[in-house]
Structure 1
Amino acid sequence: MTDRYAQYERFAFDRPSPGVLRVTMKSPLKLGAMDPRMHLEVSEIWRDLDVDDSVNVIVFTGDGKTFSAGGDLNHERKVCDDYALRMQTMKEARNLVTNMLDCSKPIITAARGWAVGAGLATLLLADVSIVANDAKLSDGHLKIGVAAGDHAAIIWPLLCGMAKAKYYLLTADTITGEEADRMNLVSMAVPDEEVEARALEIAARLAKGAPAAQRWTKMMLNHWVKQALPIFDASLALEFIGFAGPEGTEGIDAFLQKRSANFNPKTPF
C-alpha cells in the first residue's frame, strides 16, 4: 500500500482485483466493536479513498465472522461526563456519514455477524450492502437511552419506509440479514460463506465499468439522502444531548452492569 494509508492502525488493505481496494476493519475489541482509534479512522478513511486514483471501487468489510458491534460502551460512558470528548465523538460521527456520502467511488460493504451502531451506519450508508442471511443488525441507541442519531433518521425511512423505521428504531430490536433483505434495508442477503465472494464479484464488475458514469449516478442518488442533512444534524445533536443526560448515563450503566435500565417515566421533555 502507499504511504497514504500508513497512518491507519485499525485497517488492513489489499487489492483483490484491478481497481478494487478492500478495507478490512481490525478491531482489538470483541465482536469488532470500535475503540476510539477505530471510530476516528472509520470517519476519515473515505477522504483518502476518494482521492486515490488507483481505486475505482471500495469493498469495506469486517475481520473474520463479524462486521462491527458499534462503539465501545466503556468509552461512551466517558463521553457522558466529558464535554470535550463528547464534542469530538459527535464530530467524528458526523464525518463518518458526510464523508461516506461525499466519497465518489462506489462503496460495497460485506457484513457477517453483528452490525450495530456505528457499524450499522457504515454498512447501510454504502452504495451496495451485502450481508449474511444470519447476520444480526440493530440500531441500539434506544437501549442505552439516547436518540437514534448517527445515520438512522436519514437513511432508514428511504430504505425500508417510515413504518418499519419507526418500529425498529424505537424498539431497537435485532433483525437478521435475511429479514433486512426482505424489508429492503440492505441490497441483498446471501449465505454466510458467500458474503465476501459476492462482494468481490460485484466490485470486480463495477471496476470494469465506466467510472465517471458510476460516480455521477452515485452523486445524483445521494442527493436524496443529502436533502435530509438538516434532519441528520438535529438527530445527532439530540443523541449527544442524551449522552449528557440522566437517560444516557443510566442506559449505559445498566448495559455495562448487565441489568435492566431504570428510566424515569416523567421526563421533562
Structure 2
Amino acid sequence: MTINLDAYQSLALRRDGRVLHASFNRPDALNAFDAAMHDEFERLLHELPRDDSTHVVVLSGVGKAFSAGGDIETMQALIDDPARMYPDLVGAKRLIASFLDVPQPIVAKVNGAAMGLGATLALFSDIVFAANHAKIADPHVKVGFVAGDGGAVIWPQLIGYARAKQYLLTGDAITGEEAARIGLINFAHPADELDAAVDAFAQRLAGGARRAVQWTKATINVGLKQLAASMLDAGMAYEVLSNRTRDHAEAVAAFRGRRTPDFNGD
C-alpha cells in the first residue's frame, strides 16, 4: 500500500522520492498534541510498515516549533474529569511501542522547541538533527506532572542517569547545540542549514540497502523496546496519580493565567 497523503489534517505529509516528510501541523498551538493529532500520528505509525514507497521518514513540525508536547487545554479537561485520563495508561505505551516498531529509519528534524512528548518523540527517533537555537526539554515537573510518557525511559539511555535526572527533575531546557555536544542528539546546525543537512542524510539512508538498514534498526531497538515496555506502565500510572494533585492543578491554572505557580507539595 501507499499512504494517502491527503487523508491527514493534523499532520502535513509530502514525498521526496523514497523519503516521506511528516510534520506536526498545528503551528498556531506550537504543534502541541491534542486528541486529533495524537490519533492521526498513531494512524500514521500503523500505516508506515505497509508503505513500500517510504524508505525513510523525516519527522518535523510546521512553523517555528517541532512540538510543544501536551496541550494545556487538554490538561485542564483532564483535571476537570480525571477519568478521561485512564485510557492514556495504555495509549502512551501503545504510541511508543508503535513508534519503535516502524521499520523505516526515522530522522527527527527539530526545527524549534521540542517539549515533553515532543522531546520524547524526537529522542526516540533513530537520528536527530536540531537547529542550534532549538530548545529541547521534558518539563513535565514544571506543570506538576510525572514524566511518564517516555522521557524517563529515553533520556538516561542517551546521556546517562546523572544528567538525565538533572534535566528531568528540573524540567530545564537545553539548546540543540548543547544537546549535540553532550550526546542527547546527533547533529546541530544553524537554522538556515538544517533543511539541507537533514535532506542529504535522509537521501543517503534512502539510497542504502533497504532491508539491511531496517533490520539493523530492528535489532538495535530490541533492548529499547524491552526497557520501554517495563517502564511505561509504572510511569503512566504515576502520571495519572499526579493529575490529581493540587500542584498540577495549580501549575495549569498558573500557565493559563500567565503567572508563576505556587507549589505547596500536595
User: TM-score band, normalised by the shorter chain?
Assistant: over 0.9
SS in 2 for 1:171: coil
SS in 1 for 2:30: helix
Alpha-carbon contact 1:43-1:93 (below 8 Å) kept: no
Please give the residue correspondences for 1:38-187 in structure 2 after superposition, counting only pairs within 5 Å: 38-187=37-186
1:206 partnered with 2:205:
yes
Distance 1:28 1:109 in 2: 17
In structure 2, the residue matched to 1:37 is 36
In structure 2, the residue matched to 1:241 is 241
Q: Which amino acid aligns with 2:93?
A: R
In structure 1, the residue matched to 2:218 is 219
Cα 1:96–1:195, aligned 2, differ >3 Å: closer, same or farther? farther
Q: Which amino acid aligns with 2:25?
A: K
Q: Which amino acid aligns with 2:150?
A: H
SS in 2 for 1:32: coil
Shift, 1:196, TM fit: 1.8
Q: Which amino acid aligns with 1:204?
A: Q
Q: TM-score, normalised by structure 1?
A: 0.92
Distance 2:55 2:145 in 1: 37
Identity of aligned residues (%): 39
Shift, 1:162, TM fit: 0.5
Q: Which amino acid aligns with 1:245?
A: T
> Pairwise CA RMSD of aligned residues?
1.8
Distance 1:12 1:106 in 2: 19
Question: Structure 1, residues 56-87: CA drift from partner, whole Å, max 9, x if none?
Answer: 11111111332111111111111123244212
SS in 2 for 1:21: strand
Distance 1:224 1:9 in 2: 34
SS in 2 for 1:148: coil
Cα 1:174–1:85, aligned 2, differ >3 Å: closer, same or farther? same
Which range moves more in the overlay, 154-163 or 237-246? 237-246
Structure 1, unpaired ranges of 5+: none
Cα 1:151–1:3, aligned 2, differ >3 Å: closer, same or farther? closer
The total of aligned residue pairs comes to 265
